[in-house]
Amino acid sequence: MGNLSRRDFLAAGAAASLFTIIPSHVLAQPPSNKLNIGCVGVGGMMGGGDVEGVADGNNIYALCDVDANHLGKMAARHSAAKQYRDFREMLDKEHKNLDAITVTTPDHMHATIALAAMERGLAVHCQKPLTQSVWEARLLTNAEKKYKVPTQMGNQGYSCEATRVACEMIWSGVIGDVLEVHSMSGGGFSREITAWPPKEDIPATLEWDLWLGHTREQPYSSKIHPINWRGFLDYGSQMVGDWGIHQFGPANWALQLGRPDSVKCLEVKGVNPVTYPSYSCVMQFPERPNPHVPAGKMPPVKVFWYEGEMAAHFQPPEGLTAEDCKGFNEIFVGTKGFIGTKGRGEAVSLLPVAKMKDYELPKPVIERVLDGHYQNWVQACKGGKPAVSNFSIAGPYSEWILLGAVCWRFPEEELKWDGANLRFTNNDKANEFLKPHFRKGWELPEISV
């Protein structure tokens, strides 16, 4: 390899693969084709899952977590990995030895860590939602264009067979023009907390200030770390960012949603200054181009979201019963019928399900992911096609999803959205919630491309 760095070598191999396909029996992959991966956030909800998800066929080179308990448990499984508590130190010391990182931290630090890695030329797998705020989602979209590194958001449903089948069914015209989509999640985190929890002693194993990252200084509470942060306004996005971004995957892809014209909170309950309330909202998307349908475009569509207590307020559209919708968390309403999807886009059916008995699925037109969501990204890192939920897709998707986490503050008010300029045109107060607070020394730059 001479003076080539590992990353240069992998990049050179990727460039060569664009022009020549060499059978594996002629040229076996060298040991250096294993990626050196640094994992930031290795406990909590998905930390362990993400580490093991990318470990197959690769080298877990470094582990980083602000919680020594999480770090110790994962280090026991990957004993050769270097250990860090501060991602900044890991990137400063190891970026020349790394090819890629995973980001599995609370939402509020996704953009900060991902951008720091991209600036150093590292590929990034970042958990969903891509960011906590709309502004940060645009930032990482632009960063992907600027730094041109392989990226992937951790919304596994985008790699599922059923998500692709749902798209192909809708594009075939079996339910006609889709005019509405309804999705709901009755879960939630910290919904009983309406004031900042009482201060507790910071565990000796936790670097609390590092955990807070760019957010305001706040006292530690076990009601926040390690799990329930997702319900707090400062750190998460509650269920729309936890499951909404999974559930809406088929809609985002099939309907080529892009940017909405407006978002409106329909109902809200439990507003307080600390955690997210229960709410429902509707986003209106304009007519959009779609090369996959005969008309080349799709009509305006309304996308409804029901969260927490409001999930129970979902009413089946005319033509379906509650029993027809049972078990489905995304309902497409077309001019000729209905489609439902389940989970993260892991199952799909015409509704009522009896209509599937004699239905013949359309011919596949979307390439299938054969080895799963993590390997889809790994293959991109090794010179393959861009991952299915790379930041050029995940960024705009996260932008419109996260408008839901803003609109509940202005109930029954239609907020007009200027996506090109990342602002509401009729409510300056609402614009204050598009970008997070950054403590001094943690600011992120604007990136324009």
> What are the pLDDT digits (tens) for 205-231?
999 999 999 999 999 999 999 999 999
Mean per-residue pLDDT for 56-79? 97
What is the token pair recorded at 326?
A: 């049972």
Q: What is the pLDDT of residue 449?
A: 85
Q: What is the pLDDT of residue 14?
A: 39
Which of the given ranges, 9-23, 37-51, 220-234, has the highest pLDDT on average?
Answer: 220-234
Say yes or no to pLDDT of 135 above 90. yes
Mean per-residue pLDDT for 180-190? 97
Question: pLDDT tens, 108-133?
Answer: 999 999 999 999 999 999 999 999 99
Mean per-residue pLDDT for 374-400? 97
Q: What is the pLDDT of residue 44?
A: 78
| Mean pLDDT across the chain | 93
Dihedral sign, Cα of residue 189, residue 194, residue 198, residue 199: positive
Q: What is the pLDDT of residue 419?
A: 98
The share of the chain scoring above pLDDT 90, in percent, equals 91
C-alpha pair distances (Å), 288 with each of 45, 176, 278, 281, 382: 36, 16, 30, 21, 34
Say yes or no to pLDDT of 412 above 90. yes
Q: What is the pLDDT of residue 8?
A: 46
Counted residue by residue, the chain has a size of 449
Say yes or no to pLDDT of 28 above 50. no
Record the pTM: 0.92
Q: What is the pLDDT of residue 440?
A: 96
C-alpha pair distances (Å), 260 with each of 126, 301, 367: 24, 9, 27
Mean per-residue pLDDT for 15-30? 32
Give the rounded distance of the alpha carbon of 173 from its chain centre: 28
What is the token pair recorded at 396?
A: 């705009």
Q: What is the pLDDT of residue 32?
A: 55
SS3 of the chain: the string is CCCCCHHHHHHHHHHHHCCCCCCCCCCCCCHHHCCEEEEECCCCCCHHHHHHHHHCCCEEEEEECCEHHHHHHHHHHCCCCEEECCHHHHHHHHCCCCCEEEECCCHHHHHHHHHHHHHCCCEEEECCCCCCCHHHHHHHHHHHHHHCCCEEECCHHHHCHHHHHHHHHHHHCCCCCEEEEEEEECCCCCCCCCCCCCCCCCCCCECHHHHHCCCCCCCCCCCCCCCHHHHECCCCCHHHHHHHHHHCHHHHHHCCCCCCCEEEEEEEECCCCCECCEEEEEEEECCEECCCCCCCEECCEEEEEEEHHHHHHCCCCCCCCHHHHCCCCEEEEECCCEEEEECCCCEEEEECHHHHCCCCCCCCCCCCCCCCHHHHHHHHHCCCCCCCCCHHHHHHHHHHHHCHHHHCCCECCEEEEEHHHCEECCCHHHHCCCCCCCCCCCCCCCCCC
At residue 15 the predicted structure's pLDDT band, cuts being 50, 70 and 90, is very low
Q: What is the pLDDT of residue 150?
A: 98
For residues 335 and 213, the answer to whether their CB atoms sit within 8 Å is: no
Say yes or no to pLDDT of 447 above 50. yes
For residues 195 and 379, the answer to whether their CB atoms sit within 8 Å is: no
For 40-50, b/e burial (b = at least 16 CB within 10 A) is bbbbbbbbbbb
At residue 376 the predicted structure's pLDDT band, cuts being 50, 70 and 90, is very high
